[in-house]
């Protein structure tokens, strides 16, 4: 079983992310600059915001940024799942939550059962934090 709890999406870089073609196919990251900008939005999902400004407009803006950040995290993770399926021939790889979001917004894990006979000479699975 391969099991990876994903985190630190905002620390990914273009050289360590395993499935750039997935992102390019979505029209998201055609250059290193695009990639850096995209992964920086992932930090919005859990990042701190200006708590001193509690106006309704500010709270709505912060909520929208959190949603965009969460979508960026999921896209990066889905690219990882697609890579496991394609490159490591793990067709049952999937993304799932392993704990409630109330406990932590970093609540996702990638799991993939390994079938017998699958090659063990895989690329490094340290996907993003360099």
- What is the SS3 assignment for 108? strand
Q: Tell me the per-residue pLDDT of 29-52, one tens digit each, with 9 for 90 and over.
A: 889 999 999 999 998 888 766 667
92 three-state secondary structure: coil
Summarize pLDDT for 75-121 with one digit per residue, the tens: 999 999 999 999 999 999 999 998 888 888 888 999 999 877 655 54
Q: Which residues is 109 bridged to in the sheet?
A: 5, 96
Render pLDDT for 92-102 as a digit per residue (tens, 0 to 9): 999 999 888 88
Distance (Å, whole) CA 128 – CA 18 = 8
User: Which pTM was predicted?
Assistant: 0.82
Burial class (CB in 10 A: 0-12, 13-18, 19+), 52: exposed
Taking residue 23's Cβ as centre, other Cβ atoms within 10 Å add up to: 21
């Amino acid at each position: 079983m391969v099991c990876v709890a994903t985190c630190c999406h905002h620390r990914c870089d273009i050289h360590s992310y395993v499935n750039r073609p997935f992102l390019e196919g979505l029209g998201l990251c055609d250059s290193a600059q695009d990639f850096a900008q995209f992964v920086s939005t992932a930090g919005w999902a859990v990042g701190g915001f200006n708590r001193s400004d509690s106006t309704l407009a500010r709270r709505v803006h912060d909520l929208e940024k959190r949603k965009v950040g969460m979508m960026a995290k999921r896209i990066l993770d889905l690219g990882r799942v697609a890579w496991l399926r394609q490159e490591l021939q793990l067709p049952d790889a999937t993304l799932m939550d392993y704990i409630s979001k109330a406990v932590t917004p970093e609540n996702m894990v990638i799991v993939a059962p390994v079938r017998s006979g699958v090659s063990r000479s895989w690329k490094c699975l340290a996907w993003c934090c360099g």
